[in-house]
Structure 1
Amino acid sequence: MDKTTSGWINGFIGVVIFSGSLPATRTAVLQFDPVFLTVARAAIAGLLALLLVLAFREKRPARADLVPLAIVALGVVVGFPLLTALALQHVTSAHSMVFIGLLPLATAIFGVIRGGERPRPAFWLFSLAGSAAVAGFALMQGLAAGAGEGPGEDVATSSTGDLLMLAAIVVCGLGYAEGAHLSRRLGGWQVISWALILSLPAMIVLAIVLMPASFSGIAPPAWTGLAYVSSFSMLIGFVFWYRGLSQGGIAAVSQLQLLQPFLGLALAAWLLHEPVTWTMLAVTLAVIACVAGARRFAR
C-alpha cells in the first residue's frame, strides 16, 4: 500500500471516530459543567497517553518541539473541546455539526502556513464556496429565530453558539495542521500523547478544583459521553488523524472532514433523537460537494 492511500485510510478512520464527538459532548454537557467536562476529558486522556508513552518507552521530545506541542494542546486538547462544550449549551449537536464543514478550509489554510503546501487556485474556490454555504446557514438560522420569537433572546443565544463554534473551528484547524506538521518528525500517536501529557498537570488540578460536589445524580448516558470524548475523541482518533494528514498531505486529507457532518447528523438523530431539518441536510450536502471539488485540486 502506498503512502498516499494509507494516509486516506487513516484519515477516514479518524473522521469516523471524530463524528461521534459532538453528540457525545452534547450528551455529557447536559449533566456536566462544560468547563469541568473539558478539563476532565483532557486529564483522563492525558493519563492514558502517559501510560502509552511509558509502555513504549518513548524518548522525550526535543526542546524545539515544545512550542509546537503547546500549540497542539491549546488547539485540540483545550480550545476545541471547551468552545464546543460551551456552544452546545446554546445549540443542538445537529446544528453545530454543520460548522464542521469549515474545518477542511481552516486546516488547509494552516497547512499552507505551517506545512508549506500549495494547493491550486481552484481548490480555494471550492473551499470558499463551502464556507459561504455554512455561513449562510448560520445567518438564516439567526434570522428565523428572530422572526419567530420577537424579543431577540433566542437570536442572541443562537448567535453565541454559532460564534463559539466558529472559534472552535479556527483553533482546531490550527491544532490539526500543527500536529500534522510535527508528526512528520515525531509520529502521529506521539504528537497527541505528548500534547496531552504537556497539559496534564494543569488539567488534573483544574479537574479537582471544578469537580462537582456529588456525582450521584449523573446518569449513565453522561458517563458514556465522558468516556467516549476522553478516550476516542481526545486520543485514539488523533492517532489515525495525524498519521493520515502527515502521510497524505494536510490540505488533501483534510477534505475527508466533510464526511463528518453527514455522519454526525445521523448519529445525532439516532442517539439523541434530535430533529434534523431539510435545511441542515441540504447545506451539509452542498458543503460536501464543494469540498469534494476542492479535494481534486488540492495538489
Structure 2
Amino acid sequence: MRVIEIAGGAGPAEALTLAEHPDPVAGDGQIRIRVRAAGVNRPDLMQRQGLYPAPPGALAIPGLEVAGEIDQVGPGVSRWSTGDRVCALLGGGGYSDLAIVDARHALPIPASLDFIQAAALPETVCTVFANVFESGALKKGETFLIHGATSGIGVTAIQMAKAGGGRVIATSRGPEKTAAALALGADLSLDAGTDDLEASILAFGGVDVVLDMVGADYAALNQAVLKPGGRWVVIATQTGALARVDLLRVMLKRITLTGSTLRARPADEKARLISEVERVVWPWIGSGRVRLPVHATFPLEQASAAHLALEAGGHVGKIILTT
C-alpha cells in the first residue's frame, strides 16, 4: 500500500514523502478500511514538525481520521461487514491506502454524505463534542465563544453548538471569514483584526463556554468575557502555552479552566466517546443540521501541498486528502 512518511522524522512540508509499505492485516477487534479520503488536521502539522509524536502503539504515519469501505474484518468483530461504508478515528496512519482501526472507533457514513465529506468528521466532531459538550458542559440557551471560527474545528463547533441550542459568538480574521461564520450560524461574528472583541462580547452579554485554540494572546480576553460559572476549554496554544491567569478573577467568577487532547486517550475512552457522538451528533449530521464545508482536496501524493494550504490559514472548513 502507499503511505505518506515524514522523512527524517520531522521537517517542513516537503518532508512528507510517498512510500510503499506491506498491506496490514486486521487483528482481534479490528477492521481494515480501504481509505478513500483522509482529513488533514493541525495535529498532523505538529507531528510533522516534531511537536506532537504518535502515542505508544500508534503508527508514525500522519492522519487521524479517514473514510472508506471495510475490506477486512478481524476476529471478534460483530457489528461490521466487508463493504460497509465507514469513517473512523485513528491514533495515526490515515495518510495511506489502507488503515487498521479499532472496530469500536468507526462510525457508519450517513447516506447523504460521500467519502470526502465523511472524512472531515471523526477527529473534528469528537474533539468538539468532548470539549464543548462534555468538558465545557454547554447547555441549551447558553452562549458559546469560538476563536478561529473558520478552521475545521471552528466550523464544526459553530454548527454543533447551534444544534445543541446554544448562542454562538465567533471570532476570525477578515470580512470573508466573518461572513462565513455568520453563514454557518453564528449569532455574532467578530473580526479579530478590526473589532473590539472584549467590548463587543460583553455588549452581547458575555459567554458561558469558550473553546480556545489561540492560547496566550487571548487569555486575558477569555477571563474578561466569561460569565460567573463560565468554562474555559483549551485545545491548542497557537500563540503560546504560557499565559497570565488572574486567580482572583477565577475565584470571583468561579471560572473552570480545563483542556484536553484526543489522540492519546485510551482506546476504551475513545470507544465511549464515539458511542456518544453517534447517539447525539450523528442525527444532527443525518438531518443536515451539521455539515462540514470542505475547502479543498488534494491527492495523497500531494500531502505536502495540503499541509501548506492548512498552514497558510486561508481556508474555511476542512482540507482533505483523497486516494
TM-score range relative to shorter protein: under 0.3
Structure (1/2) with the larger helix percentage: 1
TM-score normalized with structure 1 length: 0.27
TM-score normalized with structure 2 length: 0.25
Select the structure with the greater relative contact order (CA < 8 A; seq sep ≥ 6). 1
